[in-house]
Structure 1
C-alpha cells in the first residue's frame, strides 16, 4: 500500500514518528509493528487498519511450519534469500519510478 501511494520509507516513517531505519526493519518483518503503529500507518495511508494489518509471525514460527513439512533447509535458505532480494528490487524499482 505504501508503494501504491508512492511514499518512500522515509516519508512514511516521518509521518508516523519513527526513523526510516526503524520503519524499514518493521516493514521487512525484522521487528514487529505494534497495534498503535498499525493504526498510525493506516491513517497515513488513508485506509482502514484491517486493509493493511498483518498479524506478526516470527521467522522462528515460520521455520517451524516448514520443518513440519520436511522441506530441506537449503530450500528455506533460498526462500529467505529470494524474499530479501525481492524486497530490495521493489525498493530499486520504486526509486527508478520516481
Structure 2
C-alpha cells in the first residue's frame, strides 16, 4: 500500500473542504478520491494539477510522489526464532516495466477523466 498523501489531506482540511466536495470538483466519487488521498490508488499528474487548482495552492505544497522502490515484508516465523523485516530492492528491469505500466495507467486515467467530463457536460445539456 502507498503512503497517505498527508500534505494533500492537511491542505484539504485547512481549506475546510470534505473529501466529497473535492471529489465533486474533480468529477469523481468520494470513495475514489478517498482511495487516492489515502494512497491506495495512484494520483495522475493531471489529477495533481487539478487538485492544485481546486485547492488554490502551488502543486509543490501538496504533491507527494507515489514511486516506491523498496518493499518491506514481515516474516511470521514460529518457535524460538523471532521474525524480522527484510528489505528487498526491485531489479532495474522490473522498475522499467513498472514505470511503463504507471505511464499507461496515467494515460487511461486521463482518458477516463475526459470521458467523465464529457458525460457530465452531456447530462447538463
TM-score normalised by length of structure 2: 0.48
Larger radius of gyration: 2
For the residues of structure 2 that align with 1:14 and 1:35, how far apart are their CA atoms?
A: 18
For the residues of structure 2 that align with 1:43 and 1:23, how far apart are their CA atoms?
A: 16
- Give the counterpart of 1:53 among 43, 51, 63: 63
Q: Which has the higher helix share?
A: 1
For the residues of structure 2 that align with 1:40 and 1:48, how far apart are their CA atoms?
A: 11
Residues 62 and 8 of structure 1: is their aligned pair in 2 closer, same or farther, counting only changes over 3 Å? Answer: farther
Residue matched to 2:12: 2
For the residues of structure 2 that align with 1:67 and 1:45, how far apart are their CA atoms?
A: 39
The runs of at least 4 aligned residues of structure 1 exceeding 4 Å deviation read: none
- Give the counterpart of 1:17 among 18, 27, 32: 27
* Corresponding position: 1:44 with 2:54: yes
TM-score normalised by length of structure 1: 0.60
For the residues of structure 1 that align with 2:28 and 2:71, how far apart are their CA atoms?
A: 27
5+ unaligned residues in a row in structure 1: which ranges?
69-98
Residue matched to 2:86: 67
CA RMSD across the alignment: 2.2
